[in-house]
Structure 1
Amino acid sequence: MRPFQLLPAITIFISLEILGVAGYWDCNGTLILYENVRAAVDFAFSCSPGSFYEYPSIYRSQPPWPGLGQLREFPITASGKLWQGSFFSSLLYIAYYILATQDTSYCQVFATEGLGYECTHILG
């Protein structure tokens, strides 16, 4: 490989490495893996907006900028389990919410603890 060909190859390798390891969200020491968030996003977008699937319902949110696409807000647990279960058990254990587009090009995780806060996304 010639030296001028090396730089694009390194750039592609780094890009693939970043895509392969999407990281996690740190919510004051509680880690929520990207795989868990992705699974929750897939599940939420398989349900109808405004549907009531246990607690709470999934609903559409206004995108923060034009052209972003549909946003949905829905709960997730730190263990990656979704909000399946009885109404009352869900009320007790849901401590995190996701606001995301279907392809996760826009994705934020929020904790409900205290007054609530946005979790920090850390790339892997």
Structure 2
Amino acid sequence: MSEQHKEHILPIKAYLGVAGALFILTMVTVAVSYINLGGWNAVVAVSIASFKVSLVALFFMHLKYDNKINLFIFLIGISFVTLFIIFTMFDTLRRADIYEIKAKPIKEKAHIYERAPDDSTQQSDAAQH
């Protein structure tokens, strides 16, 4: 009933390489957050995060050297998460689209779209009172 278990000790250089890649990808994520890509910001951020998750799972959690059924189960889970994210991105990328005809009654009733009065107008009004 005892199972054979193979050790798969990686050299420290491999762990440092993966850690360095994760650090660089984190810097890329921060840099990309300052770039306005519109609706694609979320897609790029999730893509980079997915790649980082894959690195952690493959090397730090040893899925690369483990039984292949575990890797298969992991990939099935990632596939479903990816599918759900894709359908979410369809909504996120189209959320801001509104036709001008439909927007007119909304903008008329919404106070958020009113222009703020200039400071000079407020000061002259205060001086008159």
Q: Hey, which of these two has a bigger chunk of helix by percent?
A: 2
TM above 0.5: no
**Pair member with larger Rg:** 2
Structure with more contact order per residue of length (Cα contacts < 8 Å, sep ≥ 6): 1
Instruction: Give the TM-score normalised by the residue count of structure 2.
Output: 0.23
Q: If each structure's strand is expressed as a fraction of its own residues, which one has the higher value?
A: 1
